[in-house]
Amino acid sequence: MRARGSGEAAPRPGDAAIKAAPRQRTDAARKPAPRPTEAAVKAAPRRRGAARDTAGDAARGAAGDAAGDAARGAAGDAARGAAGDAARGAAVKAALDGVRARCAVEERRARDPVSFVHRYTDPADQELVALIAASLAFGNVKALHAKIGEALDRLGPEIALTADDARAVSARLRGFRHRIYRDRDLVGLIVGARRVQRASGSLGAAFAAELSRTGDLRQALGAWVRAIRRAGGLDRRPDDRGAAHILPDPEKGSAAKRLMLLLRWMIRPADGVDLGLWPVPPSALLIPVDTHIEKLGYNIGLTDRRGATWKTAEEITAALRGFDPADPVKYDFALCHLGMLQQCPSRRDPVRCQGCGVKPVCRHWDE
């Protein structure tokens, strides 16, 4: 039955009914069937509208409730996610701070290539020694220590003065070899670095000028490397592996670990390990990513990347910046030595993981 007031005439008595009841006609029967009153007509649309309104309200209410529930659910999820992230970040920071606090710095420094730099007092010697030590920090730890020591012994105590004389450097290093490096590679590095040092006042000033000019760590380092390679003639042997590897181009995608190590030593504030010689803020640094840092960074969720690439270094550093924006790389020394100590198996290994300072936040030990 249609609702009244739909616009059709109200039903009237049918002809059959009228014929069948002629004698029974009453005034009432003769009268036309009652028509909807004005009030009813007026009321009907309102009722229909009311029905629509009610249905609409219900639908809107239900949709609103659903949307509200979804929004509240999403907000709740986001809040729980943010709280979880904050708790996780706090746990990782606490683990890293603990590793740093427990690091036996003097003992570990003696086994680190940076120890060679601390044997010198003149900043010009220190930055040249740092460049030599970082560049030769390649391969087996014991062998590289022996080779750095050998090169520095050959060059004598006043490295910068010696480096002014390319022939003398070449004579002193004759026959030197370390893995793919030959004496001529190391000569080119030292002589080139000394020429840039003299031209700019220091290697640090040369690097800071490039950073100021480019505003980008990678580009600045690339320009600084090219200047040394050019000044030392390393760029004249583009197909020579030793000449290419001893001072690599950071713009080729690798993590440039040895260059980052040099920057950390020279730029981070003096703390008994790093020397704080160069006029560059430590916030500009990227962590030197070697196999130990790459494994630890992945295992404790500082990155989901695998491989020692520039991107990995950027991601790990970005995560560390959350713990100390001014000096994110301060965790590197302790973490790297933790990695060496633990020989991280990157799996749940009750024996080898024993005593690991980041075990509480390691993905392999997540409950």
Burial string for 232-271 (b: 16+ CB within 10 Å, else e) reads: bebbeeeebebbbebbbebeeebbbbbbbbbbbbbbbeee
Shortest distance, CB of residue 299 to ligand SF4, whole angstroms? 4
Judged by CB under 6 A, the stretch of 53-61, 112-120, 247-255, 338-346 that binds ligand SF4 is: 338-346
Are the CB atoms for 77 and 85 separated by under 8 Å?
no
Burial string for 39-67 (b: 16+ CB within 10 Å, else e) reads: eeeeebeeeeeeeeeeeeeeeeeeeeeee
Q: Taking CB under 6 A as the rule, does residue 160 contact ligand SF4?
A: no
- Looking only at residues 297 through 336 of this chain, which bind ligand SF4 when binding is defined by CB under 6 A? 299
Binding residues for ligand SF4, rule CB under 6 A, total 14
Calpha distance 308→295 (Å, rounded): 9
Judged by CB under 6 A, the stretch of 17-25, 256-264, 328-336, 340-348 that binds ligand SF4 is: 340-348
Query: Residue 20 or residue 351: which is nearer to ligand SF4 going by CB?
Result: 351
Shortest distance, CB of residue 113 to ligand SF4, whole angstroms? 23
Single residue of 261, 296, 302, 313 touching ligand SF4 by CB under 6 A: 296
Q: Where are the alpha helices (DSSP H) in the chain?
A: 15-20, 27-30, 38-102, 105-110, 114-117, 123-136, 141-155, 159-163, 166-172, 183-200, 203-214, 217-232, 241-246, 257-267, 291-299, 310-321, 332-342
Q: Taking CB under 6 A as the rule, does residue 346 contact ligand SF4?
A: yes
What is the number of alpha carbons within 13 Å of residue 246 lying toward its C-beta? Answer: 33
Shortest distance, CB of residue 340 to ligand SF4, whole angstroms? 11
- Looking only at residues 347 through 366 of this chain, which bind ligand SF4 when binding is defined by CB under 6 A? 352-353, 356, 358-359, 362, 364-365
Query: Residue 92 or residue 362: which is nearer to ligand SF4 going by CB?
Result: 362
Shortest distance, CB of residue 97 to ligand SF4, whole angstroms? 16
Q: Taking CB under 6 A as the rule, does residue 342 contact ligand SF4?
A: yes
Binding site for ligand SF4 (CB under 6 A): 296, 299, 342, 344-346, 352-353, 356, 358-359, 362, 364-365
